């Protein structure tokens, strides 16, 4: 069995199987250039040929320092996305800083996210906002992690016992962030990670 010595390419057509493999196959760590090519402003047609780059830096570690996201789209930079995606208001990009997700997201990468609009987040890589780090009037902290939740069921009612934000890093120093149900009320999933741009 020599064919795997130089590496093996695995592609699964089934999305669920692809997500399963991506959690269990160790990828070689790649260094990514931190140069971002923004779409020329004079050529931007918002959400038709490009998507906005949110003016925040999500920490791939603990939550970032407090940041406020500017809601004026005119002030944003814009990037083109791969042709297999159709630009729309469902997509945005932001930069991820740190090494806690370096199996999937190299430090400094510009990443594509789909705005979270509901449904299960379990096992997905998410961009989350925590508004109770200090006064929410002064901004929020952001992090990118794999989302896992422990649930309880009581008389046909259910709730979160705790939420775990799991790092995917080659460095074992990074530990899970576990939030109790009381702490998780200040947690908001902003987007689901799609790919590194």
Residue ranges making up the domain that contains 142: 32-196
Helix (H) or strand (E) run with residue 59 in it: strand 51-59
pLDDT, tens digit (0-9, with 9 covering 90-100), for 114-167: 999 888 888 899 998 877 654 444 456 788 999 988 766 667 765 656 788 899
10-residue mean pLDDT series, the chain (197 residues): 57 80 63 65 89 80 55 77 90 90 91 90 89 52 86 65 86 84 77 93
- Tell me the residue length of the chain: 197
Domain total in the chain: 1
62 domain-assigned:
yes
95-133 residues labelled b (16+ CB within 10 A) or e (exposed)? bbbbbbbbbbbbbbbbbbbbebeeeebeebbbbbbbbeb
Q: Is residue 163 part of a domain?
A: yes
CATH number assigned to the domain comprising residue 69: 2.10.109.10
């Amino acid at each position: 069995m020599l064919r795997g010595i130089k590496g093996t390419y695995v592609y699964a057509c089934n999305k669920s199987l692809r997500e399963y493999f991506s959690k269990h196959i160790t990828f070689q760590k790649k260094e990514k250039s931190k140069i971002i090519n923004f779409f020329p402003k004079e050529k931007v047609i918002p959400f038709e040929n490009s998507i906005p780059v949110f003016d925040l830096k999500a920490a791939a570690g603990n939550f970032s320092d407090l940041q406020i996201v500017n809601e004026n789209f005119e002030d944003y930079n814009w990037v083109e996305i791969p042709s297999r995606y159709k630009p729309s208001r469902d997509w945005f990009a932001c930069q991820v800083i740190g090494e806690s997700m370096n199996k999937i997201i190299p430090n400094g990468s510009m990443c594509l996210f789909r705005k979270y609009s509901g449904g299960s987040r379990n096992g997905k890589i998410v961009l989350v906002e925590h508004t109770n780090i200090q006064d929410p009037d002064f901004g929020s902290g952001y992090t990118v992690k794999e989302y896992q939740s422990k649930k309880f069921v009581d008389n046909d009612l259910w709730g979160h016992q705790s939420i775990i934000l799991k790092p995917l890093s080659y460095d074992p120093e990074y530990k899970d962030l576990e939030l109790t149900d009381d702490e998780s009320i200040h947690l908001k999933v902003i987007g689901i990670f799609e790919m590194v741009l």
